[in-house]
Amino acid sequence: MIYVIGIFISVFLASLLLTKAGRHRADMILGVWMIVVGLHLFAYYSLLTGLMYEYPFLIGSTLPFPFLHGPLLFLYAFALTKPRALRVRVWLVHSLLPVGIILSTVPFFLLPAARKAYVFQHEGEGYETYLLITNILLSLSGILYIYLTNRLLQQHKKRLVDIFSNQEKVNLDWLRFLFYGMGLIWVSIILSFSDELTFSLATVFVVLIGYFGIRQAGIFTNQALPDADEPVAEGEFTAPEEPEPATQKSKYAKSGLTPDAASELHARLKDLMDSEKLFLQPELTLVELASHLDIHPNYLSQTINEMEGASFYDYINGMRIEEFKRRVSLAENQKFTLLALAFDCGFNSKSAFNRVFKKATGLSPSQYAQAATRV
């Protein structure tokens, strides 16, 4: 019964994704993935119930599906985090193994129904070498795509600090959920746990995708993130990863921003922040700040990285902390809570404020406030 539930939920989610208004490429990939999951569950269900032997064309249909999940997870993550870089070449590279496996199963599908049934009922008799090779390839595929997807998540996490000043609504929770869920299923496959456990985990995974996917809100449902690997063109923005000191000079070696221009832009930035205090805006982004300066976001990001030695996220939150420290020391502000002052300074969550403040000062906000009021 649990597999039937998984099948219907997969089809339901796929229909939502493939028919929703304003769908993006990532929605299409996830929708196709849900169809693949549903078909995989149905193929296994037909094997368990004997339905497969009543309809011999189904025999062997379970073989190609496991090789599709890793690439689809990766391509979905790729479409969310680097949408403009998802070109035909990427599709082709990650289609090679699944297509190869599908083609390798054609001779088996062409066998007489009785022969196919015999092979399945006798644990792959006559196909031992083929099954050994495919099992090894499946394990390697799982490890590879878990690694590739994790690398995408880490790269994406680094890019966020150069784009947003607050990240509570701009998070990776949805992708992390998919990543860890698939990781758990791949562990079950690689360690050769029972098929019943693996497919039960897959069904629970689909149910949770439905639950969390419907609740998911934030950047992945209302805008695509700028792509760090796309060439800079007029009107486009590519967010660089947070620079390391040893590589920063070479990182901007091809930049069109001269040192003099960077110094001039830095001075304008400081004047703007002093006069308009844009950092008080909780949802301030690099693109918005660049528009105030009438400058390309890439150049502004480079200036902050080089002149301030910080990411956009750290730069803006550093100014918010200084503003908080100024306000908390004023006698007329003693009637306000620390959290109220933090929100007035541009923070939008208690946890983010406490984390950033402790990292910058080594003290909790309350410890700092107590010390400030004693002065």
pLDDT at 170: 60
Across the chain, mean pLDDT equals 82
Listing DSSP states for 158-177 in one string gives HHHTTTBS--SSS--HHHHH
Q: 306 lies in which domain range?
A: 248-374
Strand ranges (E), 244-327: none
Of 164, 207, 166, which is closest to residue 13 (Cα–Cα)?
A: 207
pLDDT digits (tens, 9 = 90+) for 114-141: 898 888 888 888 888 988 999 899 889 9
> Is residue 233 predicted with pLDDT exceeding 60?
no
- Tally of domains in the chain: 2
pLDDT digits (tens, 9 = 90+) for 138-178: 889 988 999 999 898 888 877 777 777 776 656 667 777 77
Q: Answer yes or no: is 231 within a domain.
A: no
Boundary of a domain, candidates 205, 222, 239: 222
Q: Answer yes or no: is 239 within a domain.
A: no
Same domain, 285 and 214: no
pLDDT digits (tens, 9 = 90+) for 284-330: 989 899 999 998 988 999 999 999 999 899 999 999 999 999 999 89
Same domain, 65 and 138: yes
Q: Answer yes or no: is 124 within a domain.
A: yes
Q: Answer yes or no: is 235 within a domain.
A: no
Q: Answer yes or no: is 361 within a domain.
A: yes
Burial class (CB in 10 A: 0-12, 13-18, 19+), 211: exposed
Q: Answer yes or no: is 360 within a domain.
A: yes
Beta bridge partner(s), residue 164: 285
Quick check: helix, strand or coil at residue 84? helix
Q: What is the DSSP letter of 304?
A: I
Same domain, 137 and 33: yes
pTM: 0.70
pLDDT digits (tens, 9 = 90+) for 46-103: 888 888 888 888 888 888 888 998 899 899 888 888 888 888 899 999 999 999 999 9
